[in-house]
Chains A and B, each alone.
Chain A
């Protein structure tokens, strides 16, 4: 049955249209959840607001459970889904840059655009910086970054295979870890916020 576009169930145009509406919904919900506020994202690092962590973690788990069950019941063909190759060194470096961007700017790429649209000037500067970064990387890719980009090649890695356990068990363990973490961060949050009155 799915995925709709790779299997040719829907055409390019309809695919774009669906993407357009999902994009609008995504932006709408980011704004509704308060993610366009820089303090919400930075709060994870200071320990007074863990909503971002909870949202991202539970989104990943929901997607994992949903895809796994849909695959099991024949609703989606996992083989037709794009599966990125892993390059651990550039991923690690990129992850660190992303984390510093979160911490310093208070936005992630998605929320920066949402915030820019709502009229936040710092978000507009953030988006401009991201664009400069994208072009700068693209133009200096061959002389500077190509070797780094291709280092630490691991191919298509499935973490459950790599650990030698089944996908179902990995999802279960991950969910339990997430559940424990949710309660732990809630306690941290209430401790931190009780000391000082943070204004969002």
Chain B
């Protein structure tokens, strides 16, 4: 009698397990660790995805070691001009296995940039979809970088104090990055030799490596 009950019990457990497998299989086609589309809408709407050019300039000037800049443009564009310490990963190669350690980690702050924020937004979306955090978009891209940091415009006389403060910060930054606005000349945005040596960017180690 006891044996029969045990047999039934075991068959019941197997059936419960099989139903469980069937239900998780039919409710989602994707592994649970991937972000589902409905959740993605929420994440996109609520997360902090931009880094302003001012914030980036501040972090670059303070030689923030936790900052990783990723240039999403083509290698030729990258050679012509890039932000200091940036690594070049063209958007098409972003999800290559060799770059996973750069874009999927929780130590560095990764900032994507290109000429505008178009490519960066795409890259950000891709990484977000895969559940990678700590990636940011440079707001306005390099165009905005040139406009605000390399060649800042003087605010009107009637502007509020904060704007003047921001302007003076930007002028200092411009001098630092070699934008040339201090001398008043129009200079092509090209960096001088980096005044401060930056550490070479490497993927953050640790974890299960």
Contact = CB atoms under 8 A, between A and B. Distances in A.
Interface of A: 9, 58, 61-62, 64-66, 68-69, 71-74, 166-169, 171-172, 174-176, 178-179, 182, 186
B33 A172 contact: no
B46 to A, nearest CB: 24
A58 B10 contact: yes
A165 B199 CA distance: 53
A64 B21 CA distance: 9
Contacts of A171: 18, 21-22
Given A69-B17, A69-B24, A179 B11 contact: yes
A175 to B, nearest CB: 4
A178 B33 CA distance: 32
A176 B18 contact: yes
B21, B24, B25, B208 — most chain A CB neighbours (10 Å): B21
Interface string B145-186: 000000000000000000000000000000000000000000
Contact of B32 (A72, A174, A179): A72
Nearest to A54: B7
B22 A168 contact: yes
B187 interface: no
B19 A172 contact: yes
B14 interface: yes
A14 to B, nearest CB: 16
24 contacts: A58-B10, A58-B14, A61-B18, A65-B18, A68-B21, A69-B20, A69-B21, A69-B24, A72-B25, A74-B32, A166-B25, A166-B26, A167-B21, A169-B22, A171-B21, A171-B22, A174-B18, A175-B15, A175-B17, A178-B14, A179-B11, A179-B14, A179-B15, A182-B11
Interface of B: 7, 10-11, 14-15, 17-26, 31-33, 208
A111 to B, nearest CB: 22
Contacts of B25: 68, 72, 166-169
B180 to A, nearest CB: 52
Contacts of A178: 11, 14
Nearest to A179: B11
A6 to B, nearest CB: 14
A172 B14 contact: no
A169 B26 contact: yes
Contact of A65 (B21, B23, B33, B208): B21
Contact of B24 (A64, A66, A168, A182): A168
Given A68-B21, A166-B26, A175 B14 contact: yes
Contacts of A73: 32
A131 to B, nearest CB: 36
Given A166-B25, A168-B23, A182-B11, A72 B31 contact: yes
Nearest to B25: A168
Contacts of B33: 74
Given A168-B26, A171-B21, A71 B14 contact: no
A61 B18 CA distance: 8
A33 B23 CA distance: 34
Given A9-B208, A73-B32, A74-B31, A182 B7 contact: yes
B56 to A, nearest CB: 35
Nearest to A68: B21
Contacts of B11: 178-179, 182
A114 to B, nearest CB: 23
